[in-house]
Amino acid sequence: MGCSGCRVRFNFGKALSKVSVFFTMVLIFTYFFYCLTGFCDSVPRTLYSQRALDGEYDTLDDRRRILEERRPRLFPDAPPQRNRTASADAQQVDAAGQLAQRMLDSEPEGAPSNGIPVSNTFGTKRFPQAIIIGVKKGGTRALLEFLRIHPDVRAFGAEPHFFDRFYDRGLEWYRNLMPRTLDGQITMEKTPSYFVTKEAPGRVCTMNCRTKLIVVVRDPVTRAVSDYTQTLSKNPGLPSFQSLALKNSSTGLIDTTWSAVRIGLYAKHLENWLQHFSLSHFLFVSGERLVSDPAGEMGRVQDFLGLKRVVSDKHFYFNQTKGFPCLKKPEGSSRPRCLGKSKGRPHPQIPSEVLQRLRDFYRPFNQRFYQMSGQDFGWD
C-alpha cells in the first residue's frame, strides 16, 4: 500500500517535471521566435531604460554627433592650448579630415541591404531634402552651423562627398550617413565641391529631382584668395598666388586651369546644374551678407526651406576679436561660440594689379551669373 502510494507520487512528480520542462521549452522557443522576427526591439522598455535612451537621443543619436565629439571642435571651446602653431592647426584640420574619412569608409551603422527605410522610435534616416552644394570657401560651414540651431533641421556634420567621390557606394550608404529625423524635420548636408562636379546634378536628380539646392556665393576674387590661403596653410612651400593665377605675368592672362580660379566661374557651373534642375530649386545666399547680416540672410534661407523663422538676430553677436558673427547658443551647447580658426583667417597680401586683373577677368562671368540667378551680388 505504502509502496504503491510512493510509486503514484513518484510518477506524478516525473510527469509534473516533464510538463514544466515542456512549457519552459515552449517559452524559450516562443521568445527566440519573436526575437528573430524583430519583435523584441519594440517590447515596451522599462521606465529607467526609456529615460536613459531619451538622454542619449540628444547626445549620441547619430554619427555626426559621435564624429564631432571625436574630432576637433569646429567651435573651439576646448581649453586654450599654449604654443599652438599654424602647422599644428593645419595638422588638426588634417586629422579631422582623416577621421571623417575613416568613418565614411566604414560601413554605416545598421546598413540595410533591402531598401527598407531605417527607422526606430527616434526617427527615420532620410535622403536630404536640401543640400548646400557650394561654393567652396563661400561660407558654407557658417550657413550649416546657423541652420543647425533650428529645431526642424538635422544635418550630417562632415562633408559626405557622396555625389562627387563616393557615388559608387550607393544611395543606401548615403542615406545611412544621415541623422534620423522626425516627421516635419528636414535632413541636410553640405559638400561645396558638388557645385563644380560635372556629374553631380544628374546624380542628385536620380536621388530626388525635387531636392532644394543652396549655393553660398562670394566675390570670386576673394574666394580665390581664400582658397589659396587654405592650401597655403597646409603647404607653406606653395608658389605665390600671382604665379598660380597668371599663365604669364607679362601678358596677364589668367590660368583658368587653376581650380582656385575655375571654381569662381559661377555662371558656367550653374549652367550645368540647370540642365537637371529649374531655377526655382535654387537659393543663392550671399557669402558677404552672411557675415554683415546673418539674421537677414537666414530669414531668406528659412523661407526657402519652408521653415518657421526661428533663427533670428537674437541668435547672433559680433565677435570683435574674430571679426565675424558668432552664435550666442549653438546647437548642443549653452555657451557662445565662433567658428574654428580655419574659418575667417587672415589672407596674404596679393599685389593690387593681380587682383584687378582677376576682377576684370571675372566681370563678364559675374554679369552672366547675375542674369541667370536674377540677383545682383555687387561684386564689380
Cβ atoms of residues 144 and 214 within 8 Å: no
CA distance 220 to 135: 10
Q: Which stretch binds ligand PPS (CB under 6 A): 47-55, 96-104, 137-145, 249-257?
A: 137-145
In the set 140, 176, 181, 197, which binds ligand PPS (CB under 6 A)? 140
Under the criterion CB under 6 A, does residue 265 sit at the interface with ligand PPS?
Answer: no
Please report, as residue ranges, which positions from 217 to 236 form the binding site for ligand PPS (by CB under 6 A).
226, 229
Under the criterion CB under 6 A, does residue 45 sit at the interface with ligand PPS?
Answer: no
In the set 160, 179, 264, 325, which binds ligand PPS (CB under 6 A)? 325
Which grid coordinates are listed for 209?
Answer: 529631382
Scanning the chain, the segments in alpha helix (DSSP H) are 2-36, 47-60, 63-70, 86-105, 140-147, 171-177, 200-207, 220-234, 241-245, 259-262, 266-274, 287-292, 294-304, 352-373
Going by C-alpha positions, the residue among 223, 212, 147, 195 that lies closest to residue 377 is 223
- Min. distance of Cβ 184 from ligand PPS in angstroms? 28
Q: How many residues bind ligand PPS (CB under 6 A)?
A: 18
Phi-psi category of 344—alpha, beta or left, where left has phi over 0 and alpha has psi -120 to 50? Answer: left
Provide the annotated binding site for 3'-phosphoadenylyl sulfate.
137-141, 218, 226, 343-347
Under the criterion CB under 6 A, does residue 379 sit at the interface with ligand PPS?
Answer: no
- Min. distance of Cβ 54 from ligand PPS in angstroms? 32
User: Which uninterrupted H or E stretch holds 123?
Assistant: strand 123-125
User: Given the complex with ligand PPS, which of 186 and 339 has the nearer CB atom?
Assistant: 339
User: Given the complex with ligand PPS, which of 266 and 324 has the nearer CB atom?
Assistant: 324
**Three-state DSSP state, 157:** coil
Biggest distance spanned by C-alpha atoms of the chain? 125
What mask of x and - would describe binding to ligand PPS in positions 13 to 42, judged by CB under 6 A? ------------------------------
Which grid coordinates are listed for 17?
Answer: 517535471
User: Given the complex with ligand PPS, which of 76 and 252 has the nearer CB atom?
Assistant: 76
What mask of x and - would describe binding to ligand PPS in positions 70 to 109, judged by CB under 6 A? ----------------------------------------
Query: Apex CA 254: angle with CA 251 and CA 258, to 5°?
Result: 140
Sign of the Cα pseudo-torsion (322, 70, 152, 193, in order):
positive
- Order across the sheet with 186-190: list the strands: 153-155, 186-190, 130-134, 212-217, 282-286
Q: Which stretch binds ligand PPS (CB under 6 A): 113-121, 148-156, 258-266, 338-346?
A: 338-346
User: Given the complex with ligand PPS, which of 123 and 325 has the nearer CB atom?
Assistant: 325
CA-CA-CA-CA torsion for 141, 145, 146, 147, nearest 10 degrees? 100
Under the criterion CB under 6 A, does residue 281 sit at the interface with ligand PPS?
Answer: no
CA distance 142 to 132: 11
CA distance 324 to 322: 5
User: Given the complex with ligand PPS, which of 222 and 366 has the nearer CB atom?
Assistant: 222
In the set 90, 224, 246, 290, which binds ligand PPS (CB under 6 A)? 290
Under the criterion CB under 6 A, does residue 186 sit at the interface with ligand PPS?
Answer: no
Under the criterion CB under 6 A, does residue 192 sit at the interface with ligand PPS?
Answer: yes
Sign of the Cα pseudo-torsion (205, 210, 211, 212, in order):
positive
- Min. distance of Cβ 295 from ligand PPS in angstroms? 12
Provide the annotated binding site.
137-141, 218, 226, 343-347
State the first-to-last Cα distance of the chain, in angstroms, to the nearest integer: 116
User: Given the complex with ligand PPS, which of 264 and 325 has the nearer CB atom?
Assistant: 325
> Which is catalytic among the residues 136, 137, 190, 341?
137
Q: Is-catalytic flag, 314?
A: no
User: Given the complex with ligand PPS, which of 103 and 118 has the nearer CB atom?
Assistant: 103
Cβ atoms of residues 188 and 177 within 8 Å: no
- Min. distance of Cβ 38 from ligand PPS in angstroms? 40
Under the criterion CB under 6 A, does residue 142 sit at the interface with ligand PPS?
Answer: yes
CA distance 272 to 197: 9
| Residues making contact with ligand PPS (CB under 6 A) | 136-142, 192, 226, 229, 290-291, 324-325, 339, 343-345
The residues assigned a catalytic role are 137
